[in-house]
Amino acid sequence: MDENNCMVDIARFFLDFTVDESCGKCPPCRIGTKRMLEILNKITSGKGEEGDVEKLIELGNNIKVSSLCGLGQTAPNPVLSTIKYFRDEYDAHIRDKKCPAGVCSELLQYTIDEVLCKACGLCKKVCPTDAISGERKVPHVIDQNKCIKCGACMEKCPFNAITKG
């Protein structure tokens, strides 16, 4: 793992797995992990609010001590340890609505650098939502309201004029 991995997304990935694996016998694991996953989904989709991290910590610690078996007792660990060591990433998602690693697609924005753009039109051709406009010899522009953040334009641009962030 490196700076291209989003720690909030990693925590969400592991919790998603344990939510699926929970047998459902005890409520802390059956219900608590689902509530934690809902909060993580909220944060990674840009709808995180102040206090969400504190709720995750409180829920996680309660689930750890009150679950019946090892699955529930360890399920919150990826969330709690990423909060402990990468709290700044949680804050960036919640306060700045940014994913520093550029992973959480709903928080990304694709933009065209008007200096680098050679107006070749390739990005416009591959965009599935007609979000890119521009004429010959005129730098192209992305309409953020139409962009579904698929990344096809960035892959296609031969001049590295498109960035995500």
Long-range contacts of 50-58 (CB under 8 A, 24+ apart): 50/94, 50/95, 52/90, 52/94, 53/83, 53/87, 53/90, 53/91, 53/94, 56/80, 56/83, 57/83
Nearer to ligand SF4, 52 or 159 (CB): 159
Per-residue x/- track, 113-152, ligand SF4 (CB under 6 A): ----xxxxxxx--xxxx-xx-------x-x----xxxxxx
**Nearest-approach distance from CB 86 to ligand SF4, in angstroms:** 26
Kindly state whether residue 161 participates in binding ligand SF4, applying the rule CB under 6 A.
Answer: yes
CA 139 to chain centroid, in Å, comes to 29
Per-residue x/- track, 4-23, ligand SF4 (CB under 6 A): ------------------xx
**Nearest-approach distance from CB 9 to ligand SF4, in angstroms:** 19
Please tell me the count of residues contacting ligand SF4 according to CB under 6 A.
41
Kindly state whether residue 30 participates in binding ligand SF4, applying the rule CB under 6 A.
Answer: yes
Per-residue x/- track, 72-91, ligand SF4 (CB under 6 A): x-------------------
Binding residue (CB under 6 A) for ligand SF4 from 19, 57, 71, 141: 71
The site for ligand SF4 (CB under 6 A) is made up of 22-26, 29-30, 67-69, 71-72, 110, 112, 117-123, 126-129, 131-132, 140, 142, 147-153, 156-157, 159, 161-162
